[in-house]
C-alpha cells in the first residue's frame, strides 16, 4: 500500500487535478491519497478572516472570489453525472464558512478556535472535489482519526489515539481512499484543529506510518530537493538520494519541499519517501531513506555536502554576562522561558567560557523573546551579573548538510575560508556532534553571495563560476571579449570553469546583468541598452550587485578607474589590471593594494603591465618565492620605441617611423606619451618593486633621445617640429650601422638603482637581434648571476596583451 500526498499547486487548477487523477489511477496497488487546499486558498482564507475581524466589508469580495474559484474548478473537472451533487455539497460547505465570516465581521474578533475552523475549509472543499474526480475514490474525514492535544500553545498529535483510530478506520481499505490533509480535531473537546502550515505532508506521513505503507510519495510542483534555492543559484540541481537525517536538516533550515515534522513518523518505521513532480511525473525525483548512497549519482559522489538551505527570517538573541560563568541552570532557564512562551529556537551557539548564549528565532518572535528573558533574569540584571538581552535582526541562517561530512577533516575550514574570501563575516555558528550539519548566521544582505560561493566551492555546481566586470572594451578589452567567447565552451568542458561576463563599461556607458551578458551582442547592447556611466557609478553598481567569485578587469589607462581598486579589493573583488597606473603609483598605495588583496585572500594581478603577454612578473615572483634574490634587471620594454628604432632606415626617417608606429597602433594616437619614456618608467618601477625594492617614479634617472622642447605645445606642433631631428638621427644611425651596432632604449635596475636611457648594443649582445615591437628582459639573480635569465617576445599589441589578461583571469579561476 502506498500513500500519495498532493500539494496545493497539484490541485490548484483543472489541468493539475486531471494530472492527479492520471497519476493515482495508474497505481496498481491500494493507495491513500492526501490533498491540500487548492493552491493559494489557505492564504486567502486567513487574509479574509483578518479583514472580517477588523470590520472591513472588503472580506465579502475576497470570499466571493473563493466561491467562484471552487465552482469554476468543479464545473471544469468533475464529471457531469456528479456535478450537481458536488456543487450542492460545496455550496453548503461554503455557506457555513460565510456564516462564520459574518459572525467574525459583526463582533470584530477572531479567536484561535475560530481561525482553526476557518482554515479547515480549504482541505474540506478540495478533498470533496478531488474524491469525485478520481474513479473509485472513497472520501474520509481526517478530523475523525487525526487527534491532537495542546502543548505550549500548539496543537500536537496524540499518536497513541491517532494510530488506533487510523487502523480502525482503514481496517477494510478501499482501492483508493482519499483524505484531506492538514486538518485534525482535539482529543479534549472534538473542536477542529490543524497540524500547522504544510501539515498535509504530516497527515500523509502519519497515515503511512500507522498503516505500514511501502512508500510515502510527496507530489509537488518541483522535481525534488535541490542542492540550493534555484531562485538564487542558477546551477542548482536535483538531489536524487538523501538520508532521513540529511532531509531533516535541509527541511529544518529552510528547504520547503517537505514540512519538517513529516520525516519523523516514517523514519521510525523505515518507510522511504519519494518527492515527485505532478507536472513532470517522469522525473526521477528525490528518494529519501535511512541510507542514501546505494544509488549515488556522479554529482553525489563528487560533492562532500549534499545541499545548502537557508532561513532569511532570522533574529539572533544573546544572553550574556560574567555572572553566567560556572552557574548551573542558566540555559535551562533560557529555554524553559522560551518554551513557555511558545517560541521556537532553530539554532544555538554558546561560548566555551559560558559567558554568553546566542540563539536564533524568527523576527516575529524577537520582541517577545527579549521581554520574557529580561523578566526571567531581572534579579541578575539588577546586580549587573547579566546584561540586557540583545536582539539583532535582518540576518539569515545558512546550513550545509551532508552525511559525507562525517569524519572528513577540513570541511569547516573550507567553509569559513570560502566565506572569508567572499568578504562575508560569520556572526554565529553551530555544529552538532553528528557532523551532518554546519549552520551559521550572516547578514541578510550577504545571503545570495554566500549561497553561490559555497555552492561553487563545494563542487555542487557543474562548473566553477568566475564573474567578470570589464572596464574598457576598446582594442585590448575588445580582443579579450573575443578570446573569452572563443574559449568559453572549452574551459567549461576541460577545466570545469565558467567565465561569466556580468558587466562591461566604456568611458560613457555601462551594461550589467547578473546572469551574464551575451558575448555575441554585448558591445552593441552596451551602446543601445547601457546606462550612463562614470567611475563612481561603475563602482557603486559593482558593489550593489554583490556577486560571488568576482573579478574586475581594467583594460583602460584611466587614473580614476585605477582609483577604484582599493574599494573593490575591500569588497573581496579580485583585480586584473592592464592599466599600469595603480602598480606604478606611490609606493605606499602600491603596497596598500597588495596587502589588502593578501589579507582578503583574493588577487591583485598586473602581469600585462610589463611585456604585454610575456610571463615576466610571474617568473620574477616564482624566483623570489623559491628563495632567489634579484640583483639586476636590464630590459627593452617599449615595443613602440623598439619598433621605431627597427623601422628607421636610409629610406625611412625617424619622423616617418613614428607615424608608422601610430598607424600600426603600436603607439598611442599622441606618440609623445610613448616617446617621453613615461610608460617605460612605470614598467621599470613596477619591475623594481616586484623584485623587492622600494622605488618611486621620481627615483628613475632619465636620458631620452628626443629633447624636452619637442613635448611642448599641441600634437600638431609636435608633428611639425619632429622632422628637425631626422638628419641628426640618420647620421647617428649610419655611424652605428658601420660599427654593426643597434640603438636601444634600455631600462636598468641594479640593486634598486633605476635608470632609463639610450644604449648602443653590438652584434653579440642579446638586445641586438630584437625585431619589430618585441620586448626583452635579462634577469640577474644570485642563482642566475653569470648567465642571466632571458625572456623575449611580443611586448606590444592588443591581442597579446588581451591574452596576458586572460591568463591572469584563468589563474584566479584555478585557485578558487
Catalytic residue numbers, as ranges: 683
Q: Is 618 helix (H, G, I), strand (E, B) or coil?
A: helix
Q: Are 477 and 469 in contact (CB under 8 A)?
A: no
First to last CA, the chain: 49
Helix/strand/coil (H/E/C) assignment for every residue in 266-334: HHHCCCCEEEEECCCCCCCCEEEECCCCCCCCHHHHHCCCCEEEEEEEEEEEEEECHHHCCCCCHHHHH
Strand partners, 241: 287
Q: Is 29 exposed, middle or buried (0-12, 13-18, 19+ CB in 10 A)?
A: exposed
Q: Are 127 and 36 in contact (CB under 8 A)?
A: no
According to DSSP, residue 583 is labeled T
CA 359-361-363 angle, 5° bins: 135
CA 666-667-671 angle, 5° bins: 165
If you count DSSP H runs as helices and E runs as strands, how many of each does the chain have, helices first?
29, 31
Q: Are 224 and 274 in contact (CB under 8 A)?
A: no
Task: Count the helix, strand and coil residues of the chain and give each as a percent rounded to the nearest 5.
Answer: 45, 20, 35
Distance CA 630, CA 620 (A): 8
Q: Which residues contact 779 (CB under 8 A, 6 or more apart)?
A: 619, 620, 623, 630, 632, 633, 788, 789, 790, 791
Q: Which residues contact 31 (CB under 8 A, 6 or more apart)?
A: 1, 2, 3, 4, 24, 175, 176, 177
CA 608: distance to chain centroid?
Answer: 30
Strand partners, 184: 193
Sheet holding 183-186, edge to edge: 154-157, 147-151, 183-186, 192-194
In angstroms, the Cα distances linking 677 to 654, 696, 759, 773 are 16, 15, 14, 15
Distance CA 374, CA 319 (A): 9
Q: Within 13 A of 532's CA, how many CA atoms are on the CB side?
A: 0
Unique residue bearing C-alpha cell 545541499? 307
Q: Which helix (H) or strand (E) holds 219?
A: strand 215-220
Cell, residue 204 = 500523509
Beta strands, E only, 464-562 = 464-471, 497-505, 509-512, 531-532, 550-554
Helix/strand/coil (H/E/C) assignment for every residue in 33-98: EEECCCCCHHHHHHHHHHHHHCCCCCHHHHHHHHHHHHHHHHHHHCCHHHHHHHHHHHHHHHHHHH
Q: Are 505 and 580 in contact (CB under 8 A)?
A: no
Among the listed residues 442, 466, 634, the one whose alpha carbon sits nearest the alpha carbon of residue 551: 466
Q: Are 28 and 243 in contact (CB under 8 A)?
A: no
According to DSSP, residue 786 is labeled S
Q: Is 518 exposed, middle or buried (0-12, 13-18, 19+ CB in 10 A)?
A: exposed
In angstroms, the Cα distances linking 720 to 202, 384, 560, 666 are 89, 85, 32, 21
Distance CA 489, CA 484 (A): 9
Beta strands, E only, 408-475 = 428-431, 437-443, 464-471
Amino acid at each position: 500500500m502506498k500513500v500519495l500526498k498532493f500539494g496545493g499547486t497539484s490541485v490548484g487548477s483543472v489541468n493539475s487535478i486531471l494530472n492527479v487523477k492520471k497519476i493515482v489511477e495508474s497505481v496498481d496497488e491500494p493507495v491513500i491519497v492526501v490533498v491540500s487546499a487548492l493552491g493559494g486558498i489557505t492564504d486567502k482564507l486567513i487574509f479574509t478572516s483578518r479583514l472580517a475581524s477588523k470590520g472591513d466589508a472588503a472580506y465579502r469580495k475576497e470570499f466571493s472570489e473563493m466561491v467562484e474559484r471552487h465552482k469554476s474548478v468543479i464545473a471544469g473537472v468533475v464529471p457531469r453525472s456528479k456535478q450537481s451533487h458536488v456543487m450542492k455539497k460545496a455550496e453548503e460547505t461554503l455557506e457555513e464558512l460565510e456564516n462564520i465570516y459574518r459572525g467574525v465581521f459583526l463582533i470584530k474578533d477572531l479567536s484561535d478556535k475560530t481561525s482553526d475552523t476557518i482554515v479547515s475549509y480549504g482541505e474540506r472543499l478540495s478533498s470533496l472535489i478531488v474524491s469525485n474526480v478520481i474513479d473509485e475514490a472513497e472520501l474520509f474525514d481526517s478530523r475523525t482519526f487525526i487527534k491532537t492535544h495542546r502543548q505550549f500553545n500548539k496543537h500536537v498529535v496524540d499518536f497513541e489515539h491517532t494510530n488506533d483510530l487510523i487502523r480502525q478506520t482503514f481496517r477494510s481499505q478501499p482501492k483508493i481512499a482519499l483524505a484531506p490533509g492538514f486538518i485534525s480535531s482535539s482529543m479534549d473537546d472534538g473542536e477542529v484543529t490543524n497540524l500547522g502550515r504544510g501539515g498535509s505532508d504530516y497527515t500523509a506521513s502519519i497515515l503511512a506510518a500507522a498503516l505500514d505503507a511501502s512508500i510515502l510519495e510527496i507530489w509537488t510542483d518541483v522535481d525534488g530537493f535541490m542542492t540550493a534555492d534555484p531562485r538564487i543559484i542558477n546551477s542548482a540541481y536535483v538531489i536524487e538520494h538523501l538520508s532521513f537525517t540529511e532531509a531533516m536538516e535541509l527541511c529544518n533550515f529552510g528547504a520547503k519541499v517537505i514540512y519538517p515534522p513529516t520525516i519523523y513518523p516514517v523514519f521510525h518505521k523505515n518507510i522511504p519517501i519519494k518527492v515527485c513532480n505532478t507536472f513532470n511525473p517522469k522525473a526521477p525525483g528525490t528518494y529519501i531513506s535511512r541510507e542514501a548512497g546505494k544509488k549515488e549519482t556522479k554529482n553525489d559522489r563528487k560533492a562532500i555536502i549534499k545541499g545548502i538551505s537557508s532561513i532569511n527570517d532570522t533574529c539572533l538573541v544573546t544572553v550574556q554576562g560574567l555572572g553566567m560563568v560556572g552557574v548551573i541552570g542558566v540555559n535551562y532557564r533560557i529555554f524553559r522561558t522560551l518554551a513557555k512562551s511558545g517560541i521556537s529556537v532553530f539554532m544555538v551557539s554558546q561560548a566555551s567560557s559560558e559567558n554568553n548564549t546566542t540563539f536564533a528565532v524568527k523576527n516575529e518572535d524577537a520582541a517577545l523573546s527579549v521581554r520574557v528573558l529580561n523578566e526571567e533574569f531581572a534579579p541578575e540584571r539588577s546586580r549587573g551579573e547579566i546584561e540586557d538581552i540583545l536582539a539583532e535582526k535582518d540576518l539569515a541562517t545558512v546550513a550545509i548538510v551532508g552525511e559525507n561530512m562525517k569524519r572528513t577533516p577540513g570541511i569547516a575550514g573550507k567553509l569559513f575560508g570560502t566565506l572569508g574570501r567572499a568578504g562575508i563575516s560569520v556572526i554565529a555558528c553551530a555544529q552538532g556532534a553528528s557532523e551532518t550539519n554546519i549552520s551559521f548566521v550572516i547578514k541578510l544582505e550577504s545571503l545570495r553571495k554566500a549561497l553561490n560561493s559555497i555552492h561553487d566551492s563545494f563542487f555542487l555546481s557543474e562548473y566553477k563560476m568566475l564573474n567578470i566586470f570589464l572596464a574598457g572594451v576598446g582594442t585590448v578589452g575588445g580582443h579579450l571579449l573575443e578570446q573569452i567567447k572563443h574559449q568559453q565552451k572549452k574551459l567549461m568542458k576541460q577545466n570545469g570553469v565558467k567565465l561569466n561576463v556580468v558587466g562591461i563599461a566604456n568611458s560613457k556607458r555601462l551594461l550589467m546583468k547578473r546572469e551574464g551578458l551575451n558575448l555575441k551582442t554585448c558591445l552593441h547592447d552596451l551602446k543601445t541598452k547601457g546606462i550612463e556611466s562614470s567611475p563612481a557609478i561603475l563602482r557603486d553598481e559593482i558593489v550593489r550587485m554583490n556577486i560571488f567569485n568576482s573579478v574586475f578587469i581594467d583594460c583602460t589607462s584611466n587614473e580614476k578607474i585605477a582609483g577604484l581598486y582599493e574599494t573593490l579589493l575591500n569588497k573581496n573583488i579580485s583585480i586584473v589590471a592592464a592599466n599600469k597606473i595603480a602598480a606604478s603609483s606611490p609606493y605606499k598605495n602600491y603596497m596598500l593594494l597588495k596587502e589588502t588583496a593578501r589579507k582578503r585572500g583574493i588577487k591583485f594581478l598586473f602581469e600585462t603591465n610589463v611585456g604585454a603577454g610575456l610571463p615576466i612578473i610571474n617568473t620574477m615572483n616564482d624566483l623570489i618565492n623559491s628563495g632567489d634574490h634579484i640583483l639586476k634587471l636590464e630590459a627593452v620594454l617599449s615595443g613602440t620605441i623598439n619598433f621605431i628604432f627597427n623601422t628607421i632606415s636610409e629610406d625611412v626617417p625617424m619622423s616617418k617611423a613614428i607615424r608608422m608606429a601610430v598607424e600600426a597602433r603600436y603607439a598611442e594616437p599622441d606618440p609623445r606619451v610613448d616617446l617621453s619614456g613615461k610608460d617605460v618608467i612605470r614598467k621599470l618601477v613596477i619591475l623594481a618593486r616586484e623584485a623587492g625594492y622600494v622605488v618611486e617614479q621620481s627615483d628613475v634617472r632619465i636620458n631620452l633621445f628626443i629633447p624636452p622642447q619637442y613635448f611642448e605645445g599641441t600634437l600638431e606642433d609636435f608633428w611639425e617640429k619632429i622632422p628637425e631631428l631626422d638628419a641628426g638621427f640618420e647620421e647617428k644611425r649610419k655611424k652605428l650601422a658601420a660599427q654593426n651596432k643597434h640603438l636601444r632604449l634600455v631600462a636598468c635596475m641594479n640593486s634598486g638603482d633605476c635608470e632609463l636611457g639610450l644604449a648602443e648594443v653590438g652584434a653579440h649582445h642579446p638586445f641586438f637581434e630584437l625585431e619589430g615591437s618585441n620586448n626583452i628582459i635579462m634577469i640577474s639573480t644570485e642563482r642566475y648571476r653569470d648567465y642571466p635569465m632571458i625572456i623575449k617576445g611580443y611586448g606590444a599589441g592588443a591581442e597579446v596583451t588581451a591574452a596576458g589578461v586572460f591568463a591572469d583571469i584563468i589563474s584566479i579561476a584555478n585557485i578558487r
